Amino acid sequence: MTSLNSRHAIQSLSNRLNSPLQSRVVVQFILALLLCCAVAAVYFPGLGGGFVFDDYPNIVDNTALHVSSLRWQDWMAAMFSSPASALQRPLAMLSFAINCYFTGLDPWPMKLTGLVVHLLNTALVLVLAQRLLAATAPSETSSRRREYAAYFIAAAWGLHPINLMAVLYVVQRMESLCHVFVFAGLWLYVSGRQNQLAGTGGWIRILAGLIPCTFLGLLAKESAALLPLYAVCLEACLFGFRGRDGRRDARLYGLFGLVLVLPVLLGIAWLLPSALSPAAYASRDFNLSERLMTEPRIVLTYLRWIVLPDLGQMSLYHDDYLVSRTLWNPSTTLPSLLAIPGLLAIAWLCRQRRSLITLGLLWFLGAQLLTATFIPLELVFEHRNYFASLGICLVLADLFLVMPGPDWRRRVGALAAVAFLIFCSAVTYFRSLEWRTEVRFSISEAAKHPQSPRATYDYARTMVILTGYQPDSPYTAETLAALEQARRVPHSGVLPDQAALMFAARTDRPLQSIWWQDMYDKLSHQPIGAQELASLTSLTRCAVDDNCDFPPAAMIRMYGAALSQGDNAEVLNIYGDYALNILSDSGLALHLWQKASALRPGEPQYHISLAKLLISLRRYDEARTEIALLRKFGRLGQNEAAAEILQRKLQDAIDGKKSSGGGP
């Protein structure tokens, strides 16, 4: 009996495995696994690189993120420590904190985590593409061809070099992580609508895709705010807001009114006044009208890079991009402005017979609305196309594999699809090699953008690191030349001057007066932004750590130049650090930190610095006030750990005073 049961079970299992459905599932799993392996292979060389650019303020220099205990207050502090956004992006910051807790500030595991997130997104794109093709492909397109098209979309998107920065640029895990919820939300929405049209429910999936997924995505980055827009484009192209009976479903209009129209109106009311303020562009070398004229050119550049990736142009730094000053300067400005409505017109014309092209173009253009309109962001970053590139992959899939036609055209389309995948894989692989080490990365970026202030400074900074600040280093001559080149680049900021001063001070070379003078001039006339603050911080820490012997008069003049444009809380804070630790002037430090705290009362570091100084000055009641303010401005107990340390320090000081015969 036992033997018969065993044979029956084996036969039953064999029948299930041999069934067409089971075989199809196995084949799909193997293909998806091979796709993920291919994506991992082209990205793997880049995992060995280091941190770059915004990785430093967000991760490396963000001490709140370096969690080493399981205290929930420390984790709250880490989650709400992002300097990049008012929304703090707590989910993304939590992921960085987990990396720090287990592997410290090692960039390799952080980049590996980013690659895993990208692989997950590739899988989500695959299942989303399968749903989209099932709803949009014409009836004459075979199921096998639709399956090929879905894998092409996922492969083209996963392997595309324009998405590399969202993987290897550590801080841009914010972008890739938020899109886990965007892709999942769209898949839930499509599957829910298909179930609804089939008469098997669907509202739970629809609502889950639009509301919780948008909310969770926003906890990683604001890009997720566009999920309802992508969904309404999808609805318009695929389902027409119709129910199972073919009639318009008013509930869908009401839903999008709540999750899209109302948030858009509130968002514009919140963002537009600040964007129209003259101060919004104070730290930029362009104004609002120049930005609006330049961005269409940039959007078309993105489109060109997606359709035909260019290894020689794709990079992290694009701060040398030519700004449109008028409609005719440069000459491509007006044609680019006209081309955007042209793309919308193409989308409109394709809406009936080629809805996948319409959806792809709408997704591509819709993905630019946050970063290419009136919000005063920087002009160009490739990672902004992490979702937009999917839209163009849909267009290419339709042109190569889905569009009906004679057999010869289908064969040519299939060959073009394979060639595109091979080309994307090769470009991404070679870009990964550029990111393989910090030296290769900085050399590559400077070679691609010799007039970029950031690229040339990054190369000079890398050369400084290679010298180890050794006066007899074989890299010294090349380092000095790189620093001078970075200083001479048009629109160069204060970073090269600061680096030259620090390199000279630490290698016992003379501090050239031109370096100081350039810093004074730039700090007096250029807006005080992130680079200026980073330079002031670096010079101050070098002096405080006794690595640089800078003339106090020169340093004080530098702080004065930065403050000549008006009080800046962080400049006051940095100056206070120098006043206390180098000038030994506690009164000046107290005055500066109090002004900084008054300007930005929610900044915890100012209250921490003030409390420490007040305790050392035996002004205990005022120290208690600062500790109370530190607790007050901390969300969900994020400042509690720091407050407890200060409280113990205060109590120890009071107890020490009592034991020495002083009063309470």
Domain limits, the chain: 18-48+106-277+284-434
Please tell me the predicted confidence (pLDDT) of residue 406.
80
Within 8 A by CB and 6+ apart from 67, the residues are 74, 75, 78, 97, 100, 101
Please tell me the predicted confidence (pLDDT) of residue 305.
96
Closest CA to 558 of 539, 585, 543, 577: 539
Please tell me the predicted confidence (pLDDT) of residue 657.
61
Is the N-terminal amide bond of 330 cis, ω within 30° of 0? yes
104-115 burial, b for 16+ CB within 10 Å, e for fewer? eeebebbbbbbb
Please tell me the predicted confidence (pLDDT) of residue 10.
46
Instruction: Read off φ and ψ for residue 61, nearest 5 degrees.
Output: -90, 0
Q: Which two tokens stand for residue 581?
A: 């630790």
Angle formed by the axes of helices 604-616 and 620-633, nearest 10°: 160
pLDDT, averaged per 10 consecutive residues of the chain (664 residues), comes to 50 51 75 92 93 89 88 86 82 94 93 96 95 75 82 96 95 95 96 89 91 94 94 92 86 91 87 80 83 94 95 91 92 94 93 90 95 89 95 94 82 93 96 93 92 92 91 90 91 91 92 92 87 92 92 94 90 94 93 92 88 89 88 77 86 71 46
Within 8 A by CB and 6+ apart from 205, the residues are 188, 189, 191, 192, 195
- Cross-strand bridge partners of residue 242: 248
Tell me the Cα Rg of the chain.
Answer: 29
Please tell me the predicted confidence (pLDDT) of residue 22.
67
Sheet strands (E) in 446-582:
none
Q: Which two tokens stand for residue 412?
A: 């040519």
| Rounded distance between C-alpha atoms, residue 587 and residue 448, angstroms | 50
- pTM for this entry: 0.88
Please tell me the predicted confidence (pLDDT) of residue 163.
96
Closest CA to 484 of 467, 465, 506, 504: 504
At position 659, the amino acid (one-letter code) is S
| Rounded distance between C-alpha atoms, residue 448 and residue 453, angstroms | 12
Instruction: Supply angle C-alpha 437, 439, 445, rounded to 5.
Output: 100
User: DSSP H helical segments within 44-106, as ranges?
Assistant: 55, 72-79, 90-103
Place of tokens 């173009």: 361
Please tell me the predicted confidence (pLDDT) of residue 11.
54
Place of tokens 């995505």: 217
| Rounded distance between C-alpha atoms, residue 278 and residue 287, angstroms | 8
